[in-house]
């Protein structure tokens, strides 16, 4: 595999897309579709450090308890466990948090729920406000409050590379485009923008692959309890649903750094306000 040739292939695709960011902030809101942002552990740590150094506060917080291996995620005020989208969109109405979708989504992940209603999931995502907007988007300026340390998923939008589809023998990677008002707005993407985007895309795809491998290893090491408890003939969705009716959900999050247990009150799936300085 020639990294240089793959990078050249990615660069060519980005240049020909005619991309120019409009600073509209649409990708940070829920109005145009699911805007969930997956976070890798080192991104969480970078954001936390940036928040501390720049005195940016988040009002909400949840409790994380590392089990098995310490993962050093000391604060989760801006994260929630990875979970299917739970915002509803209706014609002529803004997006909104919909608790009914929590119940619906529990059925989608029934094979990840144990006898006691604990949900196993495989990572973290950025918390959003009640209308689905990223907690770090400044609604007055459409500027990201953590722009210097924003996640790679945000840095590379509206492009991504699926590491399953990479073809080392052909020395190329297929770049996939998402919906974005900034595409095809100029004849050729600006040179510096293209180079930075290509570099970020390759960094992201290799980091995500390594993160996946380590997460899988951790789950295989500590996930026997899930396999044992989900093979019994019982509908554990009911138990998790009852927990939610009682005002909370319990998660076990497996990521590349270890496994953590999270107790999440249902009203902390979202933030009441955006980040403040």
Largest CA distance in the chain: 59
Give pLDDT, residue 191.
Answer: 95
Averaged confidence pLDDT in the chain: 83
Give pLDDT, residue 226.
Answer: 59
- What are the φ and ψ backbone dihedral angles of 41, each rounded to 5 degrees? -55, -40
Spell out the SS3 assignment of 157-201: CCEEECHHHCEHHHCECCEEECCCCCCCCCCCCCHHHHHHHHHHH
CA distance 152 to 159: 11
What is the C-alpha R_g of the chain? 20
pLDDT class of 74 with cuts at 50, 70, 90: very low
For residue 35, is pLDDT > 90?
yes
Structure tokens at 130: 């009640």
β pairing state of 270-271 and 128-129: parallel
Give the relative orientation of helices 237-245 and 99-108 as an angle to the nearest 10 degrees: 160
Task: Bin 258: left if φ > 0, else alpha if -120 < ψ < 50, else beta.
Answer: left
**Which residue intervals of the chain are DSSP H helices?**
3-16, 41-54, 99-108, 152-155, 191-222, 224-229, 237-245
For residue 59, is pLDDT > 60?
no
- What are the φ and ψ backbone dihedral angles of 128, each rounded to 5 degrees? -125, 165
In tens, the pLDDT along 102-129 reads 888 998 898 888 888 999 999 999 999 9
What 3-state DSSP class applies to 96? Answer: strand
In tens, the pLDDT along 210-260 reads 999 999 998 888 766 655 555 454 568 888 989 988 989 999 999 999 888
> For the CA atoms of 199, 53, 41, 257, what is the dihedral angle to 10 degrees?
130
* 224 or 43, which is more confident: 43
DSSP category for residue 235: -
In tens, the pLDDT along 174-202 reads 899 999 999 999 999 999 999 999 999 99
Give pLDDT, residue 58.
Answer: 60
Kind and range of the H or E run holding 72: none
The sign of the dihedral angle between the CA atoms of 80, 82, 83, 86 is positive
Q: Do 132 and 90 form a contact (C-beta atoms < 8 A)?
A: no
pTM across the whole model? 0.85
Structure tokens at 80: 């929630």
Give pLDDT, residue 115.
Answer: 81
Query: Peptide bond before 158: cis, by omega within 30 degrees of 0?
Result: yes
Tell me whether residue 152 is exposed, middle or buried, using C-beta atoms within 10 angstroms of its C-beta: 0 to 12, 13 to 18, 19 or more. Answer: buried
In tens, the pLDDT along 127-144 reads 999 899 999 998 888 889
For residue 20, is pLDDT > 70?
yes
Task: Bin 127: left if φ > 0, else alpha if -120 < ψ < 50, else beta.
Answer: beta
* 187 or 63, which is more confident: 187
């Amino acid at each position: 595999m020639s990294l240089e040739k793959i990078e050249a292939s990615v660069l060519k695709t980005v240049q020909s897309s005619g991309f120019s960011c409009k600073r509209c902030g649409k990708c940070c809101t829920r109005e145009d579709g699911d805007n969930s942002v997956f976070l890798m552990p080192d991104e969480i740590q970078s954001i936390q450090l940036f928040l501390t150094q720049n005195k940016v506060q988040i009002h909400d917080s949840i409790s994380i308890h590392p089990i098995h291996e310490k993962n050093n995620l000391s604060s989760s005020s801006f994260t929630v466990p990875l979970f299917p989208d739970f915002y509803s969109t209706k014609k002529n109405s803004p997006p909104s948090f919909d608790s009914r979708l929590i119940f619906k989504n529990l059925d989608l992940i029934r094979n990840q729920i144990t006898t006691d209603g604990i949900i196993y999931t495989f990572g973290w995502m950025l918390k959003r406000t009640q209308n689905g907007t990223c907690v770090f988007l400044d609604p007055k300026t459409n500027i990201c409050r953590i722009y210097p340390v924003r996640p790679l998923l945000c840095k590379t939008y509206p492009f991504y590379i699926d590491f399953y589809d990479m073809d080392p023998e052909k020395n190329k990677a297929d770049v996939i485009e998402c919906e974005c008002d900034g595409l095809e707005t100029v004849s050729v993407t600006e040179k510096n923008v293209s180079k930075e985007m290509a570099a970020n895309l390759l960094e992201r795809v290799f980091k995500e692959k390594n993160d996946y491998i380590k997460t899988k290893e951790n789950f295989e090491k500590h996930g026997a309890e899930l396999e044992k408890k989900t093979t019994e003939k019982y509908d554990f969705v009911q138990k998790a649903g009852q927990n939610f009716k009682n005002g909370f959900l319990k998660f076990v999050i497996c990521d590349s750094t270890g496994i953590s247990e999270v107790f999440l009150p249902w009203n902390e799936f979202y933030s009441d306000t955006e980040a403040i300085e």
